[in-house]
Structure 1
Amino acid sequence: MTWNIPNILTALRLLAAPGIAVMFLYFTRPYADWLALLLFVVAAATDWFDGYLARAWKQETRMGAMLDPIADKAMVVIALMVIVGYSSMSPWLVLPATVILFREVFVSGLREFLGDTAGTLKVTKLAKWKTTAQMVAIAVLFAQGVFEHYLGMAAWGMDQALLDDIFAGRVEDLQGLRWKMAGMEWSGLIGLTLLWLAAALTLLTGADYFRKALPLLREGR
């Protein structure tokens, strides 16, 4: 194994994946949301840097080619598990997350079954866009958790009548409830939209991989 800088970045990204879940075990919210968001964004950024550096420095290795997709999948799967687990289990969130998780398991199993011949299933540009959409969607959804909990902290102890007056503009918004609510709603809407886009791209790329693998799955080969 060659431990050059691109491979070290990839390995760190792989180790960061379970760290996202660990944040919610040792920190209260919204600090856990903040730390998970920062860890996820930094780790996702290495996905671009390690590939760029490996190509620029001509340090592409078999270990890097093996670890890179595993690290990406681990980050996406664990982050989605955390987001769904701490959500209200809305079908608008659960359905696209299920599609993404199913595709990742299906394609990973397909590649494992094909063994050495899996190298013929090259990563397409559409698959890279799919990964990008997933990463951005997850980061925005973590940001929604931050807004949600700061909103809850600011509104603590207020009755519904006072909240209604603040949101209606009849009472001065000293705690910034309106902008916290707007941040929560907009990040939720944008995050869900991007997650559905990622799910659609996930289905397209999964179907494309399966179509390309069909000749390799025929009996008697």
Structure 2
Amino acid sequence: MTWTVPNILTVLRLFAAPGVAVMFLFFARPWADWFALVLFVVAAVTDWFDGYIAREFNQESRFGAMLDPIADKAMVVIALLVITGFSGMNPWILLPATVILFREVFVSGLREFLGATSSTLKVTKLAKWKTTAQMVAIAVLFSTGVFEHHFAERVHGMDAEMVGAILSGTIPDELGLGALIWGEQATFLAGTVLLWIAAALTAITGWDYFSKARPYLMDGSE
């Protein structure tokens, strides 16, 4: 392989995938949420840049074509595992995450089985939109953890009565608790909606790939 800029960015994105989970092993929240969010967003942006550079400067390669979707899937799968775990297995997160994980494993298995004919399952524009929706949803849900744990830090030592009085306006909200609660709820709602949209696109593209592969799955097919 040639170490072109697109290939280097793709390799870095691949290594960033487990880095998202590692943040929660070495840092306390909300700093772990911040670091994971920044790392994930930067890695997601490189996904656009490496493709653009490869096309614009004629640096496309077989290595990049092979590794790029692997890096994307690793990022999405690991980030979803982290988010699902820290959401307390919330069914609104768990169900779309399960659809996404199932589809990614299923399509990867199809490509492996088809071998030389796997070119039948070329990445479509809808599949690219699917990946974008997944990454945006994940980034928004990571930001939910940021708001949640900054709120927890600021109310540390307060009793429930005082927190309620601040949020109701009885006591001046000098700590910005209302804004943090609003940010947590807004990002969770937006992230969940986006994740369901991503899951729907994921299911549609998965069925599309399966339909294209069906002729090669029949007994007696070449």
Alignment of structure 1 residues 100-111 onto 2, 5 Å: 100-111=100-111
TM-score when scaled to structure 2? 0.98
* 1:51 shift after superposition: 0.3
Counterpart residue number, 1:207: 207
CA distance in 1, matches of 2:63, 2:103: 23
Alignment of structure 1 residues 34-113 onto 2, 5 Å: 34-113=34-113
* 1:116 shift after superposition: 1.1
User: Which segment is superposed worse, 7-16 or 162-171?
Assistant: 162-171
Can you list the C-alpha shifts for 1:172-217, whole angstroms capped at 9, x where unaligned?
0011100000000000000000000000001000000000100111
CA distance in 1, matches of 2:51, 2:216: 28
CA distance in 1, matches of 2:88, 2:174: 28
Counterpart residue number, 2:16: 16
Following TM superposition, the consecutive aligned residue runs of length 4 or more in structure 1 with deviations greater than 3 angstroms are none
DSSP 3-state at the match of 1:207: helix
Return the letter of the residue paired with 1:45. Answer: V
Can you list the C-alpha shifts for 1:138-187, whole angstroms capped at 9, x where unaligned?
00000000000000011111111111111111110011100000000000
Counterpart residue number, 1:216: 216
User: Which segment is superposed worse, 114-123 or 36-45?
Assistant: 114-123
Counterpart residue number, 2:126: 126
Return the letter of the residue paired with 1:156. Answer: H
User: Which segment is superposed worse, 185-194 or 80-89?
Assistant: 80-89
Gaps of 5+ in 1: none
Return the letter of the residue paired with 2:99. Answer: V
TM-score when scaled to structure 1? 0.99
CA distance in 1, matches of 2:174, 2:30: 20
CA distance in 1, matches of 2:46, 2:144: 23
CA distance in 2, matches of 1:78, 1:122: 24
CA distance in 2, matches of 1:178, 1:186: 12
CA distance in 1, matches of 2:62, 2:93: 36
CA distance in 2, matches of 1:116, 1:155: 59
Return the letter of the residue paired with 1:57. Answer: F
DSSP 3-state at the match of 1:29: coil
CA distance in 2, matches of 1:157, 1:123: 52
Counterpart residue number, 1:168: 168
CA distance in 2, matches of 1:71, 1:152: 34
Counterpart residue number, 1:6: 6
DSSP 3-state at the match of 1:170: coil
Q: Report percent identity of matched pairs.
A: 67
- Residue 183 of structure 1 pairs with residue 208 of structure 2: no
User: Which segment is superposed worse, 76-85 or 160-169?
Assistant: 160-169
